[in-house]
């Protein structure tokens, strides 16, 4: 029997690990709900400005109660780096957000406005970059065949 949870403002906060054994559906991709649709321009040049990193979590992360699976030699992005290229992919870090019960507005608990990357939102950029690379490969193959 499914469990339903009704919360004010449709927000649910959890701490610790979450395992899901079915699907998670967020938002919608239905074309009928969108307008001003355009393909991401210059995807490869955007990707070239983003790096993937190995890193160790610092002491401050522990102070915020973060418990990463890999404290040493973890992998990921730097939110500020991606924000320069695609700000739509960046969101306030949930651990640093609190809601004002009167205004229902969110603000930074620390005052430092920590950020997070919504990894699933990078996929459209990656897809367009792959297509751009495929076009370049096709052009090179065509030039080789003409030689």
The 10s digit of each residue's pLDDT in 48-95 is 999 999 999 999 999 998 989 999 999 999 999 999 999 999 999 999
Residue 3 lies in a domain: no
Alpha-carbon distance 118 to 112, whole Å?
19
pLDDT over threshold 60, residue 8: no
Number of domains in the chain: 1
Residue 58 lies in a domain: yes
Q: CA of 48: how far to CAs of 4, 45, 71, 104, 134, in Å?
A: 43, 5, 27, 38, 16
pLDDT over threshold 60, residue 7: no
* Residue span of the structural domain in which 126 resides: 8-146
Residue 1 lies in a domain: no
DSSP 69: S
Q: Which residue has the higher pLDDT, 25 or 37?
A: 37
Nearest C-alpha neighbor of 74 from the set 94, 95, 57, 90: 57
Alpha-carbon distance 82 to 42, whole Å?
15
Q: Which residue has the higher pLDDT, 8 or 22?
A: 22
Residue 2 lies in a domain: no
Alpha-carbon distance 66 to 87, whole Å?
24
What is the reported pTM?
0.80
Residue 85 lies in a domain: yes
pLDDT at 103: 86
Helices (H), the chain: 43-47, 59-63, 79-85, 123-146
Q: What is the CATH number of the domain that holds 133?
A: 1.10.10
Residue 100 lies in a domain: yes
The 10s digit of each residue's pLDDT in 128-147 is 999 999 999 999 999 999 98
pLDDT at 1: 47
Residue 33 lies in a domain: yes
pLDDT at 5: 58
Say if residues 92 and 113 touch (Cβ distance below 8 Å). yes
């Amino acid at each position: 029997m499914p469990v339903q949870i009704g919360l004010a403002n449709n927000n649910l906060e959890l701490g610790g690990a979450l395992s899901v054994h079915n699907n998670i559906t967020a938002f919608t991709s239905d074309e009928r709900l969108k307008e001003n649709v355009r393909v991401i321009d210059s995807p490869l040049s955007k990707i070239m400005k983003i790096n993937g990193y190995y890193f160790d979590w610092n002491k401050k992360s522990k102070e915020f109660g973060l418990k990463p699976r890999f404290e040493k030699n973890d992998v990921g992005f730097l939110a500020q780096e991606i924000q320069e290229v695609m700000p739509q992919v960046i969101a306030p870090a949930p651990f640093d957000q609190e809601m004002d019960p009167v205004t229902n507005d969110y603000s930074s608990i620390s005052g430092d406005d920590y950020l997070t990357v919504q990894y699933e939102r990078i996929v459209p950029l990656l897809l367009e970059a792959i297509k751009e690379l495929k076009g370049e490969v096709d052009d090179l193959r065509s030039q080789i065949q003409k030689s």
